[in-house]
Structure 1
């Protein structure tokens, strides 16, 4: 049981990190689009 809960904790931490990275990548893409629009 302890090993299983440990794994789920690790997975939830990895999931949170993945979501944060995904959000930052989306924000970067949006910023790039905004910069392109301003340059035009």
Structure 2
């Protein structure tokens, strides 16, 4: 019963985790691009 009640909560947590992962990957990618432009 408790597991079913917290289903929406875990769903929101999962979305938040995915969004945070995408943001962190984007930041790493931007830093990588800046390093390439600085080297040239």
TM-score normalized with structure 2 length: 0.73
Aligned to 1:18: 27
Aligned to 1:28: 37
For these two proteins, the number of residue pairs brought into alignment is 31
Q: Which runs of 5+ in 1 are unaligned?
A: 32-40
Q: 1:9 aligns with which of 4, 8, 18?
A: 18
TM-score normalized with structure 1 length: 0.73
Which aligned runs of 4 or more in structure 1 are off by greater than 3 angstroms? none
CA distance in 2, matches of 1:22, 1:5: 26
Q: What is the CA distance between 1:5 and its match in structure 2?
A: 0.6
CA distance in 2, matches of 1:24, 1:6: 27
